[in-house]
Structure 1
């Protein structure tokens, strides 16, 4: 469910007409719904009711300061994967004790900043990282709480570029070596082992891979406790998928995911952390664009939009599908004709959809890409010297720009010429 619906023939974000936002900020732009973000966070929180838990929003999905601030106000934690994300989370009001630091390549400087600013735990991904963290924490006179990310070699049955739990992936340590790595961690100064971390991938549309991975984590918990480790926290990652195509069957709901967690690890008495990102933010955002031209090709019609692959790269990178709808509701029964939806970037890959059935559209008409709240704005670039586009947050009848579009002067002036030029 989301809060982008037609009202009297106009697509709205909650109570605000999309066309009103477009008139105020120009196109293209991203718009997020506070009500949808709130609802999706609460679905996860309620799914784990009765268990000691923390829902840590994976801010790599949509890292705008206002979105992270909303999560902090709702009581969420946050999962960060860089110093930039850590600093943004702190700036958004997220307490250090609710920040989990993940990622395979944490630098010593990132470790130092997080230890100084406050951290819930580091999810350690390798022995070299673990030794580096020990050195940094010891030099600072601090103790770094850690989980160790184990790779359970479970096929998440998702796109190969977002699968993270198979043995050929770069993430974590092989689960078969976990006992020896935990033994080393316990012997290193400056570290406190608090739990286990696992994350098998993103956009999972089946629950079985979760169950398989969590069963392995449950078994490992028993083994590590027998070895003397105080395993009191399980970070189970995120990855639950969203319905990008509304005509398809919906992925499992958070409450069903919560039941898998209860069955798999609920008997262990551990605090449970989960790190949803896509399901919280994905359907909470639209990318709004305007038709520049309607072009008739040799054997197809092109809708040339003012949004491009630099604004939303998922179709080009993952062959991802986004439903695209007109902002003015088409009349019932109107004929839909196939069209290629493309952007202005000088690459054939700048194509959002091929031969997509669309209602009649003309130059100047607005369209909205659904389910664009996750991995949209955060993956955008200024390729082809196109400025980053605005982000807008709606709350009921009000909206605000939460990241402004830079001017061309601002974009150009970020470059500097060397003295000899």
Structure 2
């Protein structure tokens, strides 16, 4: 569900017409709905209300500090994967005790920053990382809470680029390596092993991979308990999908019900790391038609948004619904919607059946709230888009559009 609806023949974000937002802020433009963020977080978090849990929003999905602050006020913790995301979370007022730190390549500086901040725990991805965290913590007089990320070799049945729980993926340790690492962690003076982490992938549309992974993790936890290490935190990551097109992913209530039953009677605090399911349908990307073009074999709609603004169609061949902001009722035909980037891979939709459009008309690209702006770039020296957060009849510019000066600012102070 989301709060982007048509009223009187035009698209609204909550109670504001999209065309008015474009008049004020231009295009390309990311528009987010506060009510949708609130609805999605509450629906997800409440699904686990009957068991001890912490919902740590995945910052990489949509990292604007205004969004993080909004979710923090609803009770969210944060799942981070870099020093920059730690900085964002702290600036947004998130309590360090509600931050978990994932990612395979944490540097010494990043580890030290997180220890100084006092985060809840590190999700450790390798033996080398475990040794480094212990070393940095010991040298700086800290104690590091850790969970080891288990790679359960479970097929998440998703795009290979967002699959993370198979043995060929770079993430985590297999079960035997994990057991040896936990035994090593017990010997380390600055390490407290307190959790198990398992994240198998993103945009999952079935609960069966989750169930298979949890069964393996719980059996592994029992093995640790028999060795004298009873783990009290279980981090199951995120990954629950959203409907971009015809997908029918499980509702958070169904997910919560299954996990609640599986964890019943266990002394476990569950940590979850939702990102896409919170942010995905809470945002759209608005773009303006620049030209239409017909060749012998194709019809193109050339818009002012591009792969640097929304890379998911080019990178993952992903589907995003595209619709007119003001439908004109013209006949439908098949087009490619492309941007101005100098790459054949610069497309937002291919072979898409939609009504004919003309220059200066506005299009809305839906389900762009997650991995939209956060994956954007300045490729072709294109300033990044503005971001606007709508609440009822109020629009708040939460990131201004970049300027040409922003493109070269970091270069100008150098000889």
Q: TM-score range by the shorter chain?
A: over 0.9
Per mean C-alpha deviation after superposition, the further-off stretch among 301-310 and 177-186 is 177-186
Counterpart contact for 2:384–2:402, Cα < 8 Å: yes
What does the per-residue CA deviation read over 1:155-178, in whole Å, with 9 as the maximum and x for residues that have no partner? Answer: 001000010000111111101332
Counterpart contact for 1:195–1:230, Cα < 8 Å: no
Counterpart contact for 2:241–2:249, Cα < 8 Å: yes
SS of match in other structure, 1:60 = helix
**Matches of 1:418 and 1:372, distance apart in 2:** 36
Per mean C-alpha deviation after superposition, the further-off stretch among 354-363 and 13-22 is 354-363
What does the per-residue CA deviation read over 1:210-267, in whole Å, with 9 as the maximum and x for residues that have no partner? Answer: 000000111111111111113111000100011001xx24211111111221233333
What does the per-residue CA deviation read over 1:46-80, in whole Å, with 9 as the maximum and x for residues that have no partner? Answer: 11011000110001000001111111110010000
Counterpart in the other structure of 2:139: 139
Among candidates 341, 352, 363, match of residue 345 of structure 1: 341
Among candidates 381, 394, 397, match of residue 393 of structure 2: 397
Counterpart in the other structure of 2:350: 354
Counterpart in the other structure of 2:65: 65
Q: 1:418 to 1:48 in 2, by over 3 A?
A: closer
**Matches of 1:188 and 1:169, distance apart in 2:** 27
TM-superposed CA distance for 1:373, in Å, is 0.4
Q: 1:249 to 1:414 in 2, by over 3 A?
A: closer
Q: 1:79 to 1:417 in 2, by over 3 A?
A: closer
Counterpart in the other structure of 2:79: 79
What does the per-residue CA deviation read over 1:163-200, in whole Å, with 9 as the maximum and x for residues that have no partner? Answer: 00001111111013322211100110111111100000
Counterpart in the other structure of 1:283: 281
Matches within 5 A, 1:58-207: 58-207=58-207
Aligned-pair Cα RMSD in Å:
1.2
What does the per-residue CA deviation read over 1:368-416, in whole Å, with 9 as the maximum and x for residues that have no partner? Answer: 0000000010000000010011111111110111111121123233323
TM-superposed CA distance for 1:330, in Å, is 4.1
TM-superposed CA distance for 1:418, in Å, is 6.1
TM-score normalised per structure 2? 0.98
Counterpart in the other structure of 1:215: 215
**Matches of 1:357 and 1:175, distance apart in 2:** 47
Per mean C-alpha deviation after superposition, the further-off stretch among 344-353 and 405-414 is 405-414
Counterpart in the other structure of 1:374: 370
Counterpart contact for 1:218–1:268, Cα < 8 Å: no
SS of match in other structure, 1:151 = coil
Aligned length: 415
Q: Which runs of 5+ in 1 are unaligned?
A: none
**Matches of 1:95 and 1:58, distance apart in 2:** 15
Counterpart in the other structure of 1:268: 266
Counterpart in the other structure of 1:326: 324
**Matches of 1:410 and 1:143, distance apart in 2:** 40
TM-score normalised per structure 1? 0.97
